[in-house]
């Protein structure tokens, strides 16, 4: 049995698609670029934004850097609030608590996302919230911590 269960916030505990899609559209519109179809927008969820703007919008490194900055203009003020609790997460946390999971920890590389967790009943199950880099997450995995997913 694990003593700690670590969850990534963005895309695991919360469904962040709406905020990401709207912020990608905002960025592309502001840069005078066409918006890709929904199927392509789905690919923006998860990978680094720089990579997605380059791969799916044909941008070079300089333009993708600018696109990410414009994306953040919107996401950090409005987009984060468009997150919704992911289906089944409240029930999963209830089960973990009843199974005596000692601590449920929240991980995020984006500090502004911690604000959105307070909007959901999920925060009542959290023992701690951590702002971690991807590299530190890998160290936790090597130490035997369970990070979901």
With a CB cutoff of 8 Å and minimum separation 6, the contacts of 39 are: none
The token pair that represents 3 in the structure block: 């003593």
* The two structure tokens encoding residue 107: 């991980």
pLDDT top residue among 38 and 146: 38
pLDDT surpassing 70 at residue 95:
yes
Task: Give the residue ranges of DSSP H helices in 31-145.
Answer: 38-41, 49-57, 61-75, 89-98, 113-117, 134-142
Average pLDDT, integer, range 24-49: 95
State residue 55's pLDDT score: 97
User: What confidence category does residue 69 fall into, taking pLDDT thresholds of 50, 70 and 90?
Assistant: very high
Q: Given a cut of 90, is residue 114 above it in pLDDT?
A: no
Local confidence band at 53 (pLDDT 50, 70, 90 cut-offs): very high
- Answer left, alpha or beta for residue 144, where phi above 0 means left and psi between -120 and 50 means alpha: left
The answer to whether the CB of 18 falls within 8 A of the CB of 82 is yes
Beta strand 84-85 pairing with 14-15: antiparallel
pLDDT value at position 13? Answer: 77
Please tell me the pTM assigned to this model.
0.71
Burial class from Cβ neighbours inside 10 Å (0-12, 13-18, 19+) for residue 57 reads buried
Instruction: Please determine, for residue 125, whether its predicted confidence score (pLDDT) is greater than 80.
Output: no
Does 149 have pLDDT greater than 50? no
Active site residue 60: no
């Amino acid at each position: 049995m694990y003593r700690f269960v670590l969850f990534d916030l963005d895309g695991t505990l919360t469904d962040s698609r709406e905020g990401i899609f709207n912020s990608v559209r905002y960025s592309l519109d502001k840069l005078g670029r066409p918006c890709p179809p929904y199927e392509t927008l789905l690919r923006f969820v998860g990978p680094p934004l720089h990579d997605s703007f380059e791969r799916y919008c044909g941008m070079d490194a300089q333009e993708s850097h600018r696109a990410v900055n414009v994306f953040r203009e919107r996401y950090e003020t409005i987009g984060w609030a468009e997150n919704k609790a992911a289906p089944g997460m409240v029930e999963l946390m209830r089960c973990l608590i009843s199974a005596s999971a000692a601590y449920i920890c929240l991980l995020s590389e984006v500090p502004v996302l911690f604000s959105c967790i307070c909007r959901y009943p999920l925060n009542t199950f959290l023992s701690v919230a951590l702002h971690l880099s991807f590299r530190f997450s890998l160290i936790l995995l090597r130490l035997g911590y369970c990070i979901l997913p």
